[in-house]
Amino acid sequence: MKITLKSLAGKNFKGQREFFAEFGKKTRISGENGSGKTTIYDMFLWLRGGKDSDGRADFAVRPLDAQNQPVNGLTVSVTAVLGVNDQTHTYRKDQTERLSKKIVKGFTNEYWIDEVPMSEKEFDEHNNRHCEKEVFRILTDLRYFCADEKHGGMHWNKNRSILTDCAGDIPQPEGFEELLNPAFLKGRSIDQMKKVLKDRKVLLEKEVGNSKNPGTLSIQIGEVKTGMVDCDSADAEVKRKFVKQNIKGIEGKRTVLLDSEKERAEKAQELIDLKSKRGEREVALKTDTSGIKKYIDEKAEIEKMLGDAQAKATKINDELGDKLYAVCQQEKSLDRANKELDEIRQKRDNFITEPANDICFNCKQKLPPDMIVSDESRDLDKANIMQEGKTKAAEIKFVTGNIDTLNGEIKVLQDRYTDAEKTLDSIEESKGRRFAELDQMIAENPTKNPATDTEWNKLNAAVHLKANEIGEPATEKLKEIELELWNKNSELTKLNEALAQKDRLEQDKARIVELEAEQKEKTQQLLDVEKSLADIQAYKTEESKNIEAAVNGMFRHVKFKLFKELMDGETDTIDCCVATLRGVAYPDMSYGEKKFAEVDIINTLSKHYDADLPLFIDNAEGLTLPIEFDGQLISLFAVEGQKELKVENA
């Protein structure tokens, strides 16, 4: 894929109000600092990928005013005519303001290819068919491949992957058949196997130990040996048998005492029950009321009579209240009926004194014919008024009769209530006098002496008999037996500990043999792991040499360092990717050395991607090393005092 920049036009892009230039295979653009040389490069990159020459997508595309704010009302536009293989296409990208109520709310990008409007997605898809966006940036941005991510470059691991892809098939180191055997790797890669072995080595060193740490197995062997104690167990075995027999005899005595104490506790509970029954009988004798029952019954009867009298008086009083309330309501109804009757009488009187039915009642003028009331109608109205008066008079008579009836009933109830009050007063007076007499007779009630009661005497005799059966408690004797048993158990414990040392000694000896065998096995495993790691390191070293030789053979001047040795006390390497020129690493190169190396790298990558793209070199005036670029080269030169840009094609 060959792409050449034939012409580039820009409008309102950054500081350039208008720009147009045609380009050849070698183009020189010159001008003083700030005249817009880098802006031209930014136009080309923004059109294709939306970023500037520093790799920023958020740079200020639009020209700024004196307050460093985007100038309103402008459209930013870039148009490039590109030769793509044997075809020519025109690419255009505009940025317009997005307004809301005449206020700028943002910006919108619009795209065209050969004057055909396209969406951003369609525009990118068209370009990617010719050259993917990432490849385009690698081949048009000198710094992108070599600089680190902090300075706008690619991640070194991605660079390394691209370089190894460029190198193609790299031969494997020879003489490592055993290491590469699938039976050894078990489906793992060399790097995965290396990690597995290093983790295994850490675990084995933890168990076996090394020059710095003794290892857990050595520590366990030492601990077992420290705890080994020899002993004579013959005499201790005889003593243990004798002590066990003594303990058995003491436990038998304790069982007998505990059983007897259990029987004693049962008898003690029986004694408590007998004493309780005897006490209940004493209370029953002291509280016997059979001799005064008639006095108690009489008091209850008097209380009942008093309660009945109070209930009767209360009932009469409630009925009296209901009647009085009913009279009150009837009197209110009577007042209302009398007022209504007066109103009816007034209507009747007014009707009689009214003028002739053809004269207006208010103005006394003669009424029109259509308003004159007929005599028949007046007679009917008069009859209705008279009937209404009769009905109301009958209602008044009925209510008056009800009131008289209720007043009669109230008089009867008042008399009954007076009689009930007198009866209640009489009962209360007799209650006070009679209760004093009855209370004195109840207080003089003679009770039976328990000593003369047959049932109480039987219970008392049973209490004394049961108390004699219980006897003295065995608490003190049990304490003596428990102390003797504790002493014998303590003696047995000491004998067991002494005899256990013999068993422990045999176990310790067997454990030491087991631990030493495991230590020997783990040591051999550690040696095997270390040998495999050494083989892997040797393989990686040879592989590193092969990879670097294959990669570096593709470049004229640049050499890549793809592996780095670790300074961790072991011979080990890790992947890296650093470009060097004559032994100087890329971060330490001068500006000119960096450009010289970057061009060499792009030449090789262009062949790998089969893509020939335009290359811009900024600050070209500072370069003394030759720029050996095979494709279209656009050099940007700073020339002091040259205010206007000058484009020259060779």
Q: How confident is the model at residue 495 (pLDDT cuts 50, 70, 90)?
A: confident
Cβ contact 154:137 at 8 Å: no
- Of 64, 68, 59, the closest CA to residue 12 belongs to 64
DSSP code per residue over 109-137: EEEEETTEEE-HHHHHHHHHHHS-HHHHH
Res. 501: pLDDT tops 90: no
Residue 202 pLDDT > 90, yes or no?
Answer: no
Residue 78's DSSP bridge partners are 10, 93
Q: Helices 475-552 & 156-167, crossing angle to 10 degrees?
A: 50
* Structure confidence at residue 388 (pLDDT): 86
Q: What's the rounded mean pLDDT across residues 296-304? A: 85
* Total-model pTM: 0.52
Q: How far apart, in whole angstroms, are the C-alpha atoms of residue 25 and residue 23?
A: 7
**CA-derived radius of gyration, the chain:** 64
Residue ranges of the domains in the chain?
Answer: 3-131+611-649, 290-446
pLDDT: which is higher, 471 or 185: 185
Looking at residue 190, what is its pLDDT? Answer: 80
Q: Give percent above pLDDT 70 in the chain.
A: 93
Question: What is the mean pLDDT of the segment spanning 186-202?
Answer: 87
103 membership: H or E segment, kind and range: strand 103-113
CATH code of 3-131+611-649, in short, is: 3.40.50.300
Torsions phi, psi for 65 (to 5 deg)? -90, -170
The whole-angstrom separation of Cα 442 and Cα 252 is: 65
Backbone angles phi, psi at 111, to 5 degrees: -130, 145
Q: Which amino acid is at 359?
A: I
Is the per-residue pLDDT at 570 higher than 80?
no
pLDDT for res 121: 94
Q: Is 45 exposed, middle or buried (0-12, 13-18, 19+ CB in 10 A)?
A: buried
Residue with tokens 């059983």: 259
Residue 124 has pLDDT above 80, yes or no: yes
Q: Tell me, what DSSP letter sits at residue 212? A: S
pLDDT for 215-254, tens place per residue? 887 888 777 777 665 555 567 778 888 888 888 888 888 8
Q: How many other β-carbons are positioned within 10 Å of the β-carbon of residue 57?
A: 10
Question: Distance between CA atoms of 251 and 74, rounded to whole angstroms?
Answer: 112
Model confidence at 566, in pLDDT bands (50, 70, 90)?
Answer: confident
Which tens digit of pLDDT belongs to each residue from 155-182? 999 998 999 899 888 888 888 888 888 8
Res. 463: pLDDT tops 60: yes
Residue 638 has pLDDT above 90, yes or no: yes
Overall CATH class of domain 290-446: mainly alpha
Per-residue pLDDT at 66 exceeds 60: yes
- The predicted pLDDT at position 232 comes to 55
Q: How far apart are CA 644 and CA 435, in angstroms?
A: 139
Confidence of residue 385 (pLDDT cuts 50, 70, 90): confident
- Over residues 423-441, the pLDDT tens digits come to 988 888 888 888 888 888 8
Residue 360's pLDDT is what?
A: 63
Which CA distances in Å does 437 have to 302, 431, 432?
13, 10, 9
Average pLDDT, the chain: 85
β partners of residue 565: 573
Token couple for 382: 């008069």
pLDDT, position 320: 85
Q: How far is CA 494 from CA 228, 507, 636, in A?
A: 18, 20, 100
Most confident by average pLDDT, 18-22, 353-357, 472-476: 18-22
Check if the beta carbon of residue 174 is closer than 8 Å to that of residue 641.
no
Percentage of residues in the chain having pLDDT higher than 90: 28
Residue 385 has phi, psi (to 5 degrees) of -65, -45
Nearest to 131 by CA among 611, 615, 629: 611
What local confidence, expressed as pLDDT, does residue 586 receive? Answer: 93
pLDDT surpassing 60 at residue 361: no
The pLDDT, as a whole number, for residue 491 is: 81
